[in-house]
Amino acid sequence: MAGPAVARDRSSTRRANLSMVLRLLRDEGPRSRARIGDDTGLPKATVSHLTAELLEGGLVREGAAERDRGAVGRPGQSVEIDGRGVHGIGAEINVDYISLLALDLRGQVSAEQRIPLDVRAAGPEAVLDAVARMIAEGIEALRGAGGLVVGVTLATPGAVNMDAGTVDYASNIGWREVAAVAGLRERLGPGAPETHLENDAKLGALAEYLLVSADNVRDLVHVTGQTGVGVGIIAGGQLVRGAGGYAGEIGHLRLVPSDQPCACGRRGCWETMVGRGALLRYAADPGDMVCDPMVDLGTRLAELRDRAHAGDGRTLEALRRIGDNLAPGLALLVDILNPRLVVLGGHFAFFGEHLIDSVSAQVRELVMAPDAGGCEIVLSRLGLSGTARGGALLALDTVYQDPVRVMNLANG
């Protein structure tokens, strides 16, 4: 029994070390083998073996020459993340569209698509049919180019059960107890990549965090700007899920005076005053093209932004109301969580130039701590793709958890 146990221990140690080196290169950037040894505490010979294996497996590549601090003589060759043939897919279901975004291991977009769809009217089965077709086409294209798809993450609004793969309750799309992951796996058939489920706001927070973590930001709140308004929370560099995974459902709190009916069945929820429905209700009549869910959301938001730039009074007044209703909720989040950043996504970021100064000023006035406790309100740089990007990043995490498995798959 001792022999196999030692073999397993060595195999486990090798996998853990490969994972550690790969994560270091992802989080801290390219570095020489000598620096990898210094940063991980691994012996020089071990680092050489590990990097050689990762190079052969296509997960890293040689980069520019790098002279280590205090070193003399010839500079060492740096090592950096590669994996351009390894892909993760994020697929998003929202109120009026479905979308897909694939990333390779370097974080480069390898596929992207957004399809207008009235999700509530279509119903879960038809929506899962459409999402499965979109994912299958993406997988086929990536595999046809010689790539390996290691995972798929499905993002939906509302309360989701990650372990069961179910959407427990998503009021804005009318889903309750929908077995989303099982439905996708059945539709995608044998040989499909691992598929998982996560809440849209949490995936958006993950994508935003990876953009700013290199600047030593460890505490962040991402506020979605969708029909429903949710929050993804990063605290101390960790995603906050809550005891049941439902942390961040701030959209259904009553934060500003209102009797507006909400899809959840109650009245006066915050998202009815700041969400996309509120923006469209304030800015346009129901027959206006910007209210048509069968028109691409990006096109509709661009039209509203053009109207704002042209000085259209109704559009500008709508944005003012959104900002005034947004500030109290953001101030509450800052008072409770004291994040370093509050990142505004979705349509909040789309109209950021009309919102950010006023909202930031109001939040500073409302927050108890001086200078808003050091919190800065910023706009997302990810546009409408942030949630799907977060899903793709989560799908790629399997590479960092077990590089050996992925390299074996890539080599057939």
272 has pLDDT over 60: yes
The single residue listed with the structure tokens 């270091």 is 24
Sequence-ordered strand ranges (E) for 216-258 = 220-223, 231-235, 238-239
6 has pLDDT over 90: no
- Cβ-proximal residues to 308 (8 Å cutoff; 6+ apart), any chain: 315, 316, 319, 351, 354
pLDDT at 357: 95
The answer to whether residues 124 and 175 touch, using CB atoms and an 8 Å cutoff, is: yes
The single residue listed with the structure tokens 């209210």 is 291
Say yes or no: do domains 86-203+387-410 and 211-384 share a fold.
yes
Q: Model confidence over 226-264: pLDDT tens digits?
A: 888 999 999 999 999 888 888 888 999 999 988 999 988
The answer to whether residues 275 and 326 touch, using CB atoms and an 8 Å cutoff, is: no
Element (H, E) at 329: helix 313-337
pLDDT at 2: 38
CATH 3.30.420.40 assigned to domain 211-384? The reply is yes
pLDDT at 9: 63
pLDDT at 213: 80
The residue ranking higher by pLDDT, 67 or 289, is 289
For 86-203+387-410, give the CATH class. Answer: alpha beta
Q: Model confidence over 130-151: pLDDT tens digits?
A: 999 999 999 999 999 999 999 9
Q: What whole-number distance in Å separates Cα of residue 157 and Cα of residue 270?
A: 16
Geometric angle at alpha carbon 209, from 204 and 214, rounded to 5°: 155
For the ranges 60-69, 132-141, 216-225, 381-390, the one whose mean pLDDT is highest? 132-141
Element (H, E) at 344: strand 341-344
Token pair for residue 306? 């053009």
Where are the chain's structural domains?
Answer: 2-81, 86-203+387-410, 211-384
Mean pLDDT of the chain: 91
CATH 3.30.565.10 assigned to domain 2-81? The reply is no
